[in-house]
């Protein structure tokens, strides 16, 4: 199993509950279709001491752009379509997801750092773009500038 361990990211909370609890709902076909990787955590769910992501079979986006060209571009476009649809659901006050709108964030597509590396991965088997550190914030707030996008800012990712 290929695994990435993060110690610098914490899940965003809604009413004291981690947004990662919504992973199953958000990963339904009508929303993200399994594109949000689900972390394994150690310690408290709201303040985990360790966060691990299973990356078995996935190619970091920075490498996949070269090795899987057109398929990666299509996967990115499909991911953005998912974001657009989910953004509308979060914005709808009658939606059950509306209360979670501020907690759902995603890293910028090109965001990388020496500590974190890639946040997006391409799955050659499903031809989907997958993301880690969604619904989370860096422990160090200075790392979040121009780095995280909430549902109102998804359109900035398309530019």
Q: pLDDT tens across 82-127, in order? A: 999 999 999 999 999 998 888 999 988 877 654 557 899 999 999 9
Handedness of CA 22, 46, 11, 93 (dihedral sign): positive
pLDDT per position as a tens digit, 50-80? 888 999 999 999 999 999 999 999 999 999 9
Distance CA(4)–CA(27), nearest Å, equals: 20
- What pLDDT shows up at residue 144? 45
Distance CA(116)–CA(114), nearest Å, equals: 6
pLDDT per position as a tens digit, 126-159? 999 999 999 998 866 544 444 555 656 665 554 5
Element (H, E) at 79: helix 69-91
Beta bridge pairs of residue 10: 137
- What pLDDT shows up at residue 126? 98
Distance CA(65)–CA(85), nearest Å, equals: 25
Q: Whole-prediction pTM value?
A: 0.83
- What pLDDT shows up at residue 92? 94
Q: Is the pLDDT of residue 7 over 70?
A: no
Q: DSSP secondary structure string, 88-104?
A: HHHH-TTSTTGGGTTT-
Domain ranges of the chain: 3-153
Non-local CB neighbours of 43 within 8 Å, separated by 6+ positions: 49, 50
Secondary structure class of 119 (helix, strand, coil): coil
- What is the pLDDT of the chain when averaged over all its residues? 84
Task: Report the relative pairing of strands 128-131 and 120-123 from DSSP bridges.
Answer: antiparallel
Distance CA(141)–CA(124), nearest Å, equals: 33
DSSP type of residue 25 = H
């Amino acid at each position: 199993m290929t695994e990435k361990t993060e110690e610098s990211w914490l899940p965003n909370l809604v009413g004291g509950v981690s947004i990662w609890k919504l992973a199953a709902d958000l990963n339904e076909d009508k929303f993200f279709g399994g594109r949000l990787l689900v972390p394994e955590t150690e310690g408290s769910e709201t303040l985990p001491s360790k966060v691990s992501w299973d990356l078995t079979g996935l190619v970091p986006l920075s490498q996949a752009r070269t090795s899987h060209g057109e398929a990666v571009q299509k996967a990115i476009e499909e991911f953005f379509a998912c974001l657009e649809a989910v953004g509308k659901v979060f914005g709808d006050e009658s939606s059950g997801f509306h209360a979670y709108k501020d907690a759902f964030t995603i890293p910028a597509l090109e965001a990388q750092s020496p500590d974190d590396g890639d946040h997006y991965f391409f799955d050659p088997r499903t031809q989907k773009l997958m993301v880690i550190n969604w619904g989370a914030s860096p422990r160090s707030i200075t790392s979040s500038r121009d780095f995280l996008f909430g549902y109102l800012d998804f359109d900035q990712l398309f530019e």
